[in-house]
Every structure is written in C-alpha cells, then in structure tokens.
C-alpha cells in the first residue's frame, strides 16, 4: 500500500467529522451519525483502494451505508476496512468530549471481522506492552504498568466505561490507589490515548464493543502499544458467529495478531468534539478547522494534521 494513502484516509475522516460536528449539542445522534456516514461514503470514492468493509454500521439489512461487506474505494490494493463515522454518537448529541470519526485499514484478510457484541479489553501504551495480561487481576496489571512507566501506582489514570457491569473493576482499581476516569461512551479514543505521551491516560479496562476493539488495535499496533480482548457472546447464535470467523474457542484470549495481522496497516481519526486524543471541529463562518491523527505501522510514522477548510468549496459539509 502506498504511503500517500494515509493522507487520503484523513480526508475521509475530516469530511465525516465536519458534517457530524454541525449536529454537535443538538440532541439528535441519528442525524449526526447519518450525516457522517454519507460524507465518509462519498469521500471513499476518491481513495485509491479496493476496500471491503469488515467493521461498519451493521449488516446490509440493518444499515443503508457502510454496511459490513460493502465495497468502497476508487480502485487499488485490496484491503479490509474498519470504520466508525461517529465513535460516540451520544457524545456528539450532548456536546460531550472525545467523539471522533475513525478508520482503520489493513491488507485483505488481516483484520478480525469482529461481530457486534461485547468484548472484555485491556489496553496500554508502548512502555507497558508485553507486561500485562487480561486474565490477571487489575492490581497486578496496574503494578506492572506502574513499574514499566516508572510511576507510582497512584499516578496512573485508568479509563473505564461508566456502566453498572464495571462496579467491581472500578472498586478494585480504586483499592490500588490508581485514579479512575469514567467515560460515558467512546472507548476507541480512550484506548488509543494510552499510547499518546501527555494524554493523561495510562490504561483502558473493562467491557466495550468488539468492533471498537479492532479499531483500537490498528492504532495501537502502529504506535507500539498493546490491547488484549476476549469476546463475550450472549447467545448460541453469537457463539456460532465467532466460530464461523475462524476462532476455535468463542472465549479465547485475543492478542494483537488475532485482531490485526500483517506488516502494514493504517489508522486515521479526526476529532468531532474536543478530547484527550484530538481536538474537535471549530467553525468560523465559511472556514472549519479540524485536528486529526494518522499513522502507519510499516513506517512507524505518526502525524497530527491541523487543517483549515474553505466550506464554500466543500459542499458535503452542509
């Protein structure tokens, strides 16, 4: 895959972020998501790939655009595509932080085709990669992260989704002295932030969406971080779906190479609302300013893109 593909992907996430940002704080998450999906889909036509959406807005009978199995791109190498036009639709609707438009791609067959179900996760940055394990108690993992990052355990910040199912893990983390940052939605940005120096995030713990786990894995692979996961099927049908994906045991530990394989992958995200990872969209009359992060595993390059856009020439924003 060509290195110029990175900037092409940023144009796609920028379009999705700008269109969705028009709905920020208006209380309508469906319109925010629909606007981003439409913009992202049209911009994909300009990208030189032959992509198959393996993580998208749902199955073909559930989503009108960017559904699983949809073909995107204007021609080029065959790739798997993972997309979330608005990661954190509730965050946009309520004007809350950390909503992003996000894309991950890898050569065909290299992304886990994660079904829309829950996944137990732990994510850390480069300094703690190889030092954690999903099956260890939180206290042991946090001790390992603190030692690897040369911090006191009380200096660690652990991001956890604010859900009743996490009451016990929140209690265990607090018992260690580590600090807890609860979020309402959007664990892709939180997972990626563990690998960003100065983000104020050290660890992601808890149960979230499996598709989001794969998207985070693409970024963390590029950045040298680590995420481990375990799918949590809630029915025999979901267990059969997992087995059909080539996973022998529905509840087996999934490591980085299970989530994203190969020696080349790209990740791009543009902020919709302000967050730990990137800033949100700013509008000034007919000008919009976006902030994005884009990275490639093969080169190890991580770029932050601060861009201004003349909206008179970009009608897809309106």
Same domain, 66 and 199: no
Query: Could you tell me if 137 and 67 lie in one domain?
Result: no
**pLDDT, tens digit only, all 318 positions of the chain:** 677 899 999 999 999 999 999 999 999 999 999 999 999 999 999 999 999 999 987 765 566 678 889 999 999 999 999 999 999 999 999 999 999 999 999 999 999 988 889 999 999 999 999 999 999 999 999 999 999 999 999 999 999 999 999 999 999 999 999 999 999 998 999 999 999 999 999 999 999 999 999 999 999 999 999 999 999 999 998 888 888 877 888 889 999 999 999 989 999 999 999 999 999 999 998 999 999 999 999 999 999 999 999 988 765 554
Domain of residue 14, CATH code: 3.30.540.10
Asked whether residue 154 falls in the same domain as residue 104, the answer is no
Query: Residue 85 burial by CB count (10 A; 0-12/13-18/19+): exposed, middle or buried?
Result: buried
Last residue within a domain, chosen from 244, 259, 274: 259
The per-residue pLDDT for 314 is 66
Instruction: Give the structural domain span for 69.
Output: 5-109+264-317
Do 128 and 236 fall within a single domain?
yes
Quick one: 93 and 68 in the same domain? yes
Instruction: For residues 194 and 86, state if they share a domain.
Output: no
| pTM metric for this prediction | 0.94
Q: Which of 259, 284, 306 is the endpoint of a domain?
A: 259
In this structure, the answer to whether residues 248 and 283 fall within a common structural domain is no
Q: Which of 243, 259, 275 is the last residue of a domain?
A: 259
Tell me, yes or no, whether 247 and 271 share the same domain. Answer: no
- Please tell me the predicted confidence (pLDDT) of residue 29: 94
pLDDT of residue 59: 67
254 and 280, same domain (yes or no): no
Domain count along the chain:
2
The domain that contains 123 carries what CATH number?
Answer: 3.40.190.90
């Amino acid at each position: 895959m060509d290195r110029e593909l990175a900037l092409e992907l940023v144009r796609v996430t920028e379009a999705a972020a700008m269109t969705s940002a028009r709905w920020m704080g208006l209380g309508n998450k469906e319109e925010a998501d629909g606007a981003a999906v439409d913009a992202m889909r049209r911009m994909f036509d300009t990208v030189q790939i032959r992509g198959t959406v393996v993580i998208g807005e749902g199955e073909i009978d559930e989503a009108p655009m960017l559904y699983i199995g949809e073909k995107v791109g204007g021609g080029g190498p065959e790739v798997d595509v993972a997309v979330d036009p608005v990661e954190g639709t509730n965050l946009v609707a309520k004007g809350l932080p950390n909503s992003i438009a996000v894309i991950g791609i890898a050569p065909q067959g290299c992304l886990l085709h994660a079904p829309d179900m829950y996944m137990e996760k732990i994510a850390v940055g480069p300094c703690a990669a190889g030092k954690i394990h999903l099956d260890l108690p939180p206290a042991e993992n946090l001790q390992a992260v603190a030692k690897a990052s040369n911090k006191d355990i009380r200096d660690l910040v652990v991001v956890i989704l604010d859900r009743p199912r996490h009451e016990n893990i929140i209690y265990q983390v607090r018992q260690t002295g580590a600090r807890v940052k609860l979020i309402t939605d959007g664990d892709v940005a939180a997972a990626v932030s563990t690998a960003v120096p100065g983000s104020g995030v050290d660890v992601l713990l808890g149960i979230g969406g499996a598709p989001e786990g794969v998207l985070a894995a693409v970024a963390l692979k590029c950045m040298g971080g680590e995420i481990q996961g375990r799918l949590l099927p809630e029915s025999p049908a979901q267990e059969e779906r997992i087995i059909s994906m080539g996973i022998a045991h529905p509840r087996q530990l999934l490591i980085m190479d299970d989530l994203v394989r190969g020696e080349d992958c790209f990740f791009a995200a543009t902020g919709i609302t302000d967050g730990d990872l990137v800033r949100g969209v700013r509008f000034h009359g007919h000008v919009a300013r976006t902030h994005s992060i884009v990275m490639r595993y093969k080169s190890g390059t991580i770029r932050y893109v601060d861009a201004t856009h003349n909206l008179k020439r970009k009608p897809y924003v309106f």
